[in-house]
Chains A and B, each alone.
Chain A
Amino acid sequence: MSNLNIDAAKANTFDVIVIGSGISGGWAAKEFTEKGFKTLVLERGRDVQHIKDYPTTNKFPYEFEHLGEPALAIKKENPIVSRCYAFKEDAMHFMVKDKEHPYIQEKPFDWIRGYQVGGKSLLWARQTQRWSDFDFEGPARDDFAVDWPIRYKDIAPWYSYVEKFAGIAGHRDGLAELPDGEFLPGFPLNAAEDYFKGVIKNKYPARHVISARCAHLSKPNQIHLDQGRAKCQNRILCQRGCPFGGYFSSNASTLPWAAKTGNLTLRPFSVVESVIYDDAKGKVTGVRVADTNTKEVTEYYARIVFINAGALNTNLILLNSKSKRFPRGLGNDSGVLGKYVAFHNYSARINAEYDGLKQYATDGRNPAGGGYIPRFRNLLKQEMNFKRGYAAGIYGSRYMERDRSGIGGSLKDNLLHGKLSPWIIGSHMMGETIPKESNFVSLSVSEKDAWGVPLLNISVAYDENDALMKADYIGQMTEMFTEAGFKNITPNVSSQSPGLDIHEMGGARMGRDPKTSVLNEWNQLHTCPNVFVTDGACMTSTSTQNPSLTYMAFTARSVDYAVKAMNRGEI
């Protein structure tokens, strides 16, 4: 019997356990397996293998049951996820249905999740911008949260490292606030976007319109071909999974790469209930996993655990990992864990029309989606009645107007022979929100999920700063659009809840002081050195950039540090 136990323990022992297979977990898997470490990746959802498990990827619009629109019964059963723009018939199988994993909204919060191998890396918007010191120095300069324990120079080489492998298309714009990276050729702006760029350059020298940078293989290098990926084909059906591997996802890139080393064990249907802290050894020895199908609980062991469960679920796991040493959750001596959650404010858009440049339209599709305006408010110094600022997307397009009036042959003729609309200009805001103690997640004391894990309470809301910033965005975009001669300028202020931005961050923030932060400068728990968190939970502040690229860079940097620390015998 004891032999059996020893054998079972051996079979369940790895060098490293990575919880989660999304964008950061995939990177942890790649880095560790490449360096020769036997790595177990735990994924709570089902397996999704590249190409093979993209059932809708080659479907034409008419092949969907309702032209893509989910049936009313599905929408009614899923009010939360239905609010997400990507919840359509082509990708809804990659998104968590409301009933599959309930949570408690102390304040309205749309928690959008993708429980499968690859997680939300299959679905992400693929926008990738580096942070700069204007971002890392934000909390210290503007007196909120805590100071980031790192600066741009610490992460810059790791941005380069992950960009080369992932494949990032962009132009070298030479902006201090949005550092250039290791770019594949950038996608072009179109006629209307270029025109707007010119207007802004003349009238607002400190503001910039650039082509959006994105994780698409505009021109693959050998390293991308070696991953089995090919040039992006401008389909813009990315949320279905790409048969070309044209955009970066764990499924197309890091996970198959890790599997090729022979060091990867991927276990889908594995919910991590908690991380096991051994009071006698004074460190974490493994994780407790419930099989989502059988509910059988198994323990897995390793020298190091990386938690990449997705920002809020990472908080959930840490909070639920209680021991004698850590009665309030793993690494939570300070009581900070779960607090200072923040997100991006995406609650305003603006549209307009432009009557000029009618000699041009677009042909084909742009994977970058258009242009990007980096943050210009409060950039060099505090100058507004709100803290921080916003970046903005900017895109121009012309569509076919088809006259639907009347009936019969003339209607049919009108439908088949549309007329190009004027340029339609659109923009959306991506605002930084300020992490606060009052924006937090915690464990429900009474309610548990199907696997016995407490439900997550989410208590996150906008504040006055967000409202002021939003008004400024509308005001400034209106002014800039007016300068450009755009007409029918129509602000569209949404009352969407936090969460729908799908950029929830924090709760286990990085910092120098264990009394006010959970992780150190290496994304390592201050008080439990063999546990690392490199997903969104680690974020001390949010800035305005789309966060995934930064998670990738943090992960590769952390693994490098962890391996060196192991070799030194420190962990």
Chain B
Amino acid sequence: MERRLVIKQVLIMAGGLALLPSCLREQGKSTILLKNMDISLDQENLMADIAETIIPRTNTPGAKQLKLHLFALKMVDDCYEKADQELFVKGLTAFQDQAQDLFSKSFGKLSLHQRESMLAKLENSTSPEQSGFYKIMKEKTIDGFLNSKYVMTNLIIYELVPGRYNGYFPVKTA
């Protein structure tokens, strides 16, 4: 009960973006408030595992820690046509089933090598569902990463107030 209260009061930070938690947190549903899509907690967790495989934790945070999957989910929910959203969910579901079929395990339980090989296949997939889903998933994960607060304040610094312009800034040519 206390945990729920805390969730209600605290925004979920995804990349740096403050997301509203789903208010009446139904058992097994997505943790963020969605306007259009119906995503289960399992599907959300699968997205987290896919995002983490795309951008893993190294000596810097990975997708899971930066909650890039929630950023991706928010973007798909708000910025895509209904048809694309449906294709996305279909692709996600098919991917989930595929992991079970191939390895009798959920994607998250697979070894890194197995996860990477599954995504490598998606990179070249011609199925509209799979490629449609994966293309968005990867693109949004990368967008979320490059525009995350962590990256913009630690790795590729975004300057809000540059206060200068140099049109002949010397750089290495190689």
Contacts and interface: CB of A to CB of B under 8 A. Distances in A.
Nearest to A359: B173
Contacts of A362: 165-167, 169
Contacts, number: 127
B162 A235 contact: yes
A452 interface: no
Interface residues of B, number: 50
Interface stretch (B38-46, B76-84, B91-99): B76-84
B156 interface: yes
Contacts of B164: 234, 363-364
B156 A416 contact: yes
A58 interface: yes
Interface string A344-373: 000000000000001111111111000000
Given A360-B167, A402-B146, 11 more contacts: A62-B147, A194-B167, A233-B161, A362-B167, A362-B169, A363-B166, A364-B162, A364-B164, A364-B166, A407-B123, A416-B156
8 contacts: A61-B147, A65-B17, A73-B78, A191-B168, A363-B169, A407-B53, A407-B116, A407-B120
B163 A234 contact: yes
Contact of A404 (B142, B152, B169): B142
Contacts of A365: 162, 165
B145 A415 contact: yes
Contact of A408 (B53, B145, B148, B158): B53
Contacts of B167: 188-191, 193-194, 360, 362, 366
Given A188-B167, A361-B169, A72 B78 contact: yes
Contacts of A367: 165
B52 to A, nearest CB: 10
B55 A411 contact: yes
Contact of B169 (A187, A237, A360, A408): A360
Interface in A54-91: 58, 60-67, 69, 71-73
Interface residues of A, number: 45
B1 interface: no
B172 to A, nearest CB: 8
A416 B15 CA distance: 16
Interface of A: 58, 60-67, 69, 71-73, 187-191, 193-194, 233-235, 237, 358-367, 402, 404, 406-409, 411-412, 415-416, 420
Contact of B171 (A235, A360, A366, A416): A360
B170 A359 contact: yes
Majority-rule SS of A interface residues: loop
A229 to B, nearest CB: 15
Interface of B: 15-18, 35, 53-56, 58, 60, 62, 74-75, 78-81, 116, 119-120, 123, 138-139, 142-143, 145-149, 151-152, 155-156, 158-171, 173
Nearest to A72: B79
Contacts of A408: 53-54, 56, 116
B173 A358 contact: yes
Given A60-B149, A62-B149, A404-B142, A366 B161 contact: no
A253 B163 CA distance: 21
A350 to B, nearest CB: 21
B171 A411 contact: no
Majority-rule SS of B interface residues: mixed
A364 B165 contact: yes
B14 to A, nearest CB: 9
Contacts of A188: 165, 167
A69 B79 contact: yes
A365 B158 CA distance: 12
A119 B56 CA distance: 47
A324 B24 CA distance: 64
A412 B169 contact: no
Nearest to A366: B165
Contacts of B74: 65-66
B171 A407 contact: no
A268 to B, nearest CB: 29
B152 A363 contact: no
B162 A415 contact: no
Contact of A235 (B78, B156, B160): B160
Q: 9 closest pairs, A vs B, by CB?
A: A190-B167, A62-B16, A363-B169, A364-B164, A364-B165, A364-B162, A71-B78, A363-B166, A358-B173
Contacts of B142: 404, 411, 415
Nearest to B149: A62
B122 to A, nearest CB: 9
Contacts of A235: 160-162
Contacts of B160: 58, 60, 235, 237
Nearest to B35: A73
B152 A62 contact: yes
Contacts of A73: 35, 78
A408 B51 CA distance: 10
Nearest to B163: A233
Which of A63, A64, A67, A73 has the largest number of chain B CB atoms within 10 A? A67
A411 B54 contact: yes
A233 B159 CA distance: 11
Nearest to B161: A233
B73 to A, nearest CB: 12
A62 B15 contact: yes
A234 B152 contact: no
A71 B151 CA distance: 24
Nearest to A363: B169
B79 A363 contact: no
Contacts of B138: 404, 407
A255 B136 CA distance: 47
A561 B61 CA distance: 66
Contacts of A407: 53-54, 116, 119-120, 123, 138
A191 B165 CA distance: 12
A17 to B, nearest CB: 40
